[in-house]
Chain A
Amino acid sequence: ETGVTQSPTHLIKTRGQQVTLRCSSQSGHNTVSWYQQALGQGPQFIFQYYREEENGRGNFPPRFSGLQFPNYSSELNVNALELDDSALYLCASSFRNYNEQFFGPGTRLTVL
């Protein structure tokens, strides 16, 4: 196991609602990245936080936002949920942005 934890493990929401997903990074890591993985696809980069600042963003709309806290844990917030937001959301922690990433078990989000 990597030491990266995510909560909740599963979540069901309806279209238009808002959701907050949480991630605790591995001890000693200062970087957290978030990914969206649709069924049968590779993980798609949402954004990365390095020392509490956003350090790169993928092709996701502004309703996807995030935070990193002083203890390097992180949140992913998604507003105005759409059906296509249904996916596995993975967070990954690393020591720097170019190092190997350690993934958490993910949060499975279903939007009805």
Chain B
Amino acid sequence: GQQVMQIPQYQHVQEGEDFTTYCNSSTTLSNIQWYKQRPGGHPVFLIQLVKSGEVKKQKRLTFQFGEAKKNSSLHITATQTTDVGTYFCGALSGNTGKLIFGQGTTLQVKP
């Protein structure tokens, strides 16, 4: 079945440094969604990418969807302690509502 691989699993950065997490699939994705889960919390929707090569920005966060629609990335510029959490990518499978999540990247930010 469809799988979504996410790397790295963990990332520790100093506050102010940049951070990037990558999401890869062996098959073409119809779209990709990104979620953030704070420790002890639930996933919160960040963004959805649909078009090949799409780039979207939300303040310090930049989301990209690859040209072949097989990979995506989330880049955070100048991390802050409020960015701490686990970032998940999710891909819709077929025409059903099955959302397949990657394993997540847990970000720790040292003040």
Contacts and interface: CB of A to CB of B under 8 A. Distances in A.
A8 interface: no
Contact of A33 (B30, B44, B97, B103): B97
B102 interface: yes
A42 B88 contact: yes
Interface string A42-57: 1111001010000111
Task: Tell me which of B99, B101, B103, B104 has the highest count of chain A C-beta atoms within 10 A of its own C-beta.
Answer: B99
A90 B100 CA distance: 14
Contact of B97 (A41, A42, A56, A102): A56
B45 A45 contact: no
Contact of B42 (A44, A50, A98, A105): A105
Interface residues on B, range: 20 to 34
A42 B93 CA distance: 16
Interface residues of A, number: 29
Contacts of B97: 31, 33, 48, 50, 55-56, 94, 97-98
B82 interface: no
Contacts of B48: 99-100
Nearest to B50: A98
Interface of A: 2, 31, 33, 35, 41-45, 48, 50, 55-59, 90, 92, 94, 97-106
